[in-house]
Amino acid sequence: MNLRDVIAISKGEILTPQLSADAEIFSGCCADLMSDVLAYSRPQAVLLTGLINPQVVRTAQVADVRAIVFAHDKQPPPETLAIAVQENIFLIRSPMSMYELSGKLYAAGLRSCDADERA
């Protein structure tokens, strides 16, 4: 799935207009626990989360997560945005819940991070 599809499906607002939205997303990951993201996400995944602190982006960077969707319209602080731009991690803010985001992206064909093998 293209990142642009993720933006459209999540009815998301782009928080990092400086970054390119031309990216392929291979899987989805729905989590608030950073260890979980590190353990189960796979490269080029989109992370759906309710957390907005800078560690989310750090975690994403280490785990090669390509984009993050913040649920419930949560606005991340400037530090989070700054690290994301620096590390080329695309940020989106969506009015939907993590459940709804997962459901709609899954229904649109985006599979789970561990669909084939555990990373």
Q: Verify binding: residue 73, other proteins, rule CB under 8 A.
A: no
Among 51, 67, 84, 92, binds other proteins (CB under 8 A): 51
Q: Verify binding: residue 58, other proteins, rule CB under 8 A.
A: yes
Task: Report the DSSP beta bridge partners of residue 13.
Answer: 93
> Applying CB under 8 A, which residues contact other proteins?
14, 17-22, 28-36, 38-40, 43, 48-51, 53-56, 58-59, 61-64, 72, 79, 87, 97-100, 102-107, 111-115
